[in-house]
Amino acid sequence: MKHDLYQQAASLFGILSHPGRLRILDELRKEQACVCHLQAVLERPQVYVSQQLRVLREAGVVTDRREGTLVYYRLADSRVEALLEEMLGSPGERTCVAGCPCPGCQAEARPEFARLDQAADGTGACCPENGGGMSNDLLRQAVRQRYSRVGRSGGCCGPAVSSCCSPAPQAAAEGVGYSEAELAAVPEGANLGLGCGNPQAIAALKPGEVVLDLGSGGGLDCFLAARAVGETGRVIGVDMTPEMIDRARAAARKGGFTNVEFRLGEIENLPVADNSVDVIMSNCVINLSPDKPRVFCEAFRVLKPGGRLAVSDIVATAELPAELAADLDLYAGCVSGAAPIDALERMLKEAGFAEVRIAPHDESRAFIRQWALGLRVEDFVAAATIEAVKPRDADEHR
């Protein structure tokens, strides 16, 4: 019995010895708070705060309560409060965060803490609880920022614990299914280790075909496709990040590719003519779109009748815990924007596609785990191949 008590105390002190967790608890003893309030106060990424809250919740030190679209955290009981009083003295004043709907944050908002509420769309959104709850502009802004940074630096997009990218692009690409020979055949700078599969493996490209890559990044898949379709074929990469487009164009020049072009644009509004493409590829991008039905409608529009979709992407296999679903870093890191397979099937069929096949890959757990160490995101999402065909008689039915 005593032994159990000592063990409990030791584990509690272990948890409290972490400065970030202690700071969170210090804030929570003033008043309950939502994730973005704590994020602003700690000045740490959302994913970091979520990770610490998870540890605290699992240890029974804090509890959470959902109210509408928000989740609030508070100290579990007065014993924790008393222990904190012993360790830290009396609680200070609560810090107000501009735009945060936490009780106590309504008045005297301090603009230096405003983060999410300063989103481009000016919605004042704070602490959204899932991708759908966040404004589309906010999500796009997070995605754009991350991949602009990666496009510029060519390195990992960090923060440290969340990203569908790797500090070692060669190893990351081999890990998701590219061969050494494939990677050796693309110009330097094209592979950023951002994929979650190898769409070439399912695209079965033929000489002379026109290929479109949605979210082409540094151009890796475009260059591989360019070799497969040859001089009589053509490849178009579309990406919304100018830094990625610049990088891919530079790589094309370096590699002497004449049958590839890169266009700046959104996959929800493709800068591509109707019925002009044989194959649409995409690698780890559609999960990032807040408007997936529109992506599939656009894909359908630009495909020739009989054209096909060959996509590697991330799908949801279980419902993400609220704090992970609300995490902008995890959204931009290809995790929390993933849709369930049945929802994707429905969207594809509603767009007009036939022969829809979505196959999740169990073995992707190993690399997805690396994207957000310790958060167990691999229990909620998986890499999958997504295939579909635009029926030959499509235009007759539309």
Q: Which of 254, 252, 274, 275 is CA-nearest to residue 263? A: 252
Nearer to ligand SAM, 5 or 273 (CB): 273
In angstroms, the CA 125 to CA 111 distance is 15
The site for ligand SAM, by CB under 6 A, has a size of 25
Say whether residue 182 binds ligand SAM (CB under 6 A): no
Residues of this chain, 73-112, that bind ligand SAM according to CB under 6 A: none
Whole-number minimum distance, CB 18 to ligand SAM, in Å? 31
Say whether residue 285 binds ligand SAM (CB under 6 A): yes
Distances in Å between the Cα of 166 and the Cα atoms of 197, 312, 316 are 14, 17, 21
Q: Are 196 and 364 in contact (CB under 8 A)?
A: yes
Say whether residue 62 binds ligand SAM (CB under 6 A): no
Selected binder of ligand SAM within 330, 334, 375, 377 (CB under 6 A): 334
Say whether residue 289 binds ligand SAM (CB under 6 A): yes
Say whether residue 61 binds ligand SAM (CB under 6 A): no
Q: Is the peptide bond before 159 cis (omega within 30 degrees of 0)?
A: yes
Say whether residue 244 binds ligand SAM (CB under 6 A): yes
Residues of this chain, 110-149, that bind ligand SAM according to CB under 6 A: 143, 147
Say whether residue 64 binds ligand SAM (CB under 6 A): no
Say whether residue 267 binds ligand SAM (CB under 6 A): yes
Whole-number minimum distance, CB 140 to ligand SAM, in Å? 7
Residue that has been written with the tokens 């039905």 in this structure = 293
Tell me the Ramachandran region of residue 188: left when phi exceeds 0, alpha when psi lies from -120 to 50, beta otherwise: beta
Nearer to ligand SAM, 91 or 189 (CB): 189
Say whether residue 329 binds ligand SAM (CB under 6 A): no
In angstroms, the CA 370 to CA 171 distance is 12
Stretch 185-224: interaction string toward ligand SAM, x if CB under 6 A: -------x-xx-------------------xxxx-x----
Nearer to ligand SAM, 183 or 389 (CB): 183
**Please, is 297 exposed, middle or buried when counting C-beta atoms within 10 Å of its C-beta (0-12, 13-18, 19+)?**
middle
Whole-number minimum distance, CB 95 to ligand SAM, in Å? 34
Say whether residue 163 binds ligand SAM (CB under 6 A): no
Selected binder of ligand SAM within 284, 302, 372, 377 (CB under 6 A): 284
The footprint of ligand SAM (CB under 6 A) covers: 143, 147, 164, 192, 194-195, 215-218, 220, 238-241, 244, 266-268, 283-285, 288-289, 334
